[in-house]
Amino acid sequence: MKPLLIVSGILVASAVGAGVAISPMLTSAKAVRDDGPATTQSISQNPQGAQAKGAQGNAAHAEAVAPAPAPAPPPVVTPRKNYTYKSFNVDGNYIAMTFDDGPNPETTPQLLAILKERGIKATFFVLGNMVAKHPEVLKMIADEGHEIGSHSWSHPQLTRISQAAVEKELGNTSEAIFQVTGKRPMYLRPPYGSMKPSLRTMIEEKYGLTTVNWAVDPNDWKFRDSQKVHDAIMAQVTPGAIVLAHDIYPTTVAAMPRVLDELIAKGYKFGTISDLIAMDKTPKVQLLAALPNTGKPQQAQQKPQKPKPATASAKPDGAKPASKPAAGAAQPPRAGGVY
């Protein structure tokens, strides 16, 4: 029995010895091959190196996530008083794209995607009743940085309704926009472009709304044809123009990619109404000439030429001057259409 025990002891000792000699080799080989993510074990083997690497990583991370410098404040916008904007006198090929009668849940998001792809900001003149129906679409417009103006609640011709009705149309629309965006509109596009000086003054003083019409009209409400919309805009556009369109018509939205791409190719740049008002360089003399509806500049010029009492009293039949009927007929109703 003893020889067996001796042999067994030798075998056990050899096995233990072999194990002692092999295990460091296995550990070393594993360390060399481990190129995966660091584990608790691998970090503990070289704490100083890991800390140094971690410090470098933290510094690089801090540098990578350093906050961007604050954006420049928006330009100070001071719209002209008692004035209707149709275009601007600007240095450069700047124009304002404007869209009326939305928001529409189908076509407006499509237009927003087109504008976003090209980095273009526009101004949307919305109807209050459409805001009430589709507040989520109005929020999309605001969230993507576009400007929002009022187009009244239900699109009446403001010059043909009572002042109380006008106040309801505009007050309710401003409130609806405020409830969704947290901001009240600064601009009004009167339906059909219809406005008169006294009404404009009241609206401006009571609601802080500046009247904005347009210089380029493709009549897209009438011609539901993308090619015609494209051709009309390209034929009429000039630097400083306000372009009118409607985001409720699929044919208009379908025309926009080609229109915008060709305008960009021609060197045009785009801004909101506020952007272009901030850049506007229209001289005051030109502004006075642009307000013939008030009649004040014309009266001031005619006064020196009027001292002719003999001529005025010598009318044989006492007939009224023909100028009064002409003035009364100077405001025919606008042709139909949705502006």
* Number of helices (H), then strands (E), in the chain: 15, 8
Question: Where are the domains positioned within the chain?
Answer: 94-285
Angle CA(9)–CA(12)–CA(13) in degrees, nearest 5? 85
The confidence score (pLDDT) of residue 71 equals: 55
Catalytic residue, from 246, 247, 275, 280: name it. 246
The confidence score (pLDDT) of residue 23 equals: 38
Question: How many of the other CB atoms lie within 10 Å of CB of 2?
Answer: 6
Q: What is the crossing angle of helices 250-265 and 107-118, to 10°?
A: 10
Maximum Cα interatomic distance, the chain, rounded to a whole number of Å: 162
Q: Calculate the alpha carbon distances from 266 to 91, 99, 241 in Å.
A: 16, 22, 14
Indicate yes or no: pTM above 0.75: no
Nearest residue to 211 via CA among 193, 184, 243, 187? 187
Q: Determine contact, residues 218/232, Cβ cutoff 8 Å.
A: yes
- Give 94-285's CATH code, choosing from 2.170.190.11, 3.20.20.370, 3.40.50.970, 3.80.30.20: 3.20.20.370
Our answer to whether residue 246 is catalytic in this structure is yes
pLDDT digits (tens, 9 = 90+) for 157-187: 999 999 999 999 999 999 999 999 999 999 9
pLDDT digits (tens, 9 = 90+) for 179-222: 999 999 999 999 999 999 999 999 999 999 999 999 999 999 99
**DSSP collapsed to 3 states, 213-245:** CCCECCCCCCCCCHHHHHHHHHHHCCCCEEEEE
Residue owning tokens 């219809």: 194
Q: Which residues of 108-127 are buried (b: 16+ CB within 10 A; e: fewer)?
A: bbebbebbeeeebbbbbbbb
Helix (H, G, I), strand (E, B) or coil at 130: helix
Catalytic residue, from 100, 217, 247, 280: name it. 100
The confidence score (pLDDT) of residue 292 equals: 47
Q: Calculate the alpha carbon distances from 195 to 211, 212, 233 in Å.
A: 8, 10, 24
The confidence score (pLDDT) of residue 69 equals: 61
The confidence score (pLDDT) of residue 248 equals: 98
The confidence score (pLDDT) of residue 318 equals: 35
Q: What is the Cα–Cα distance from 321 to 157, expressed in whole angstroms? A: 31
Q: Residue 185 burial by CB count (10 A; 0-12/13-18/19+): exposed, middle or buried?
A: buried
What type of residue sits at position 304? P
CA atoms in the 13 A half-sphere facing the CB of 84: 22
Q: What is the Cα–Cα distance from 298 to 124, expressed in whole angstroms? A: 36
Which regions of the chain are under pLDDT 70? Answer: 1-75, 283-339
Our answer to whether residue 100 is catalytic in this structure is yes
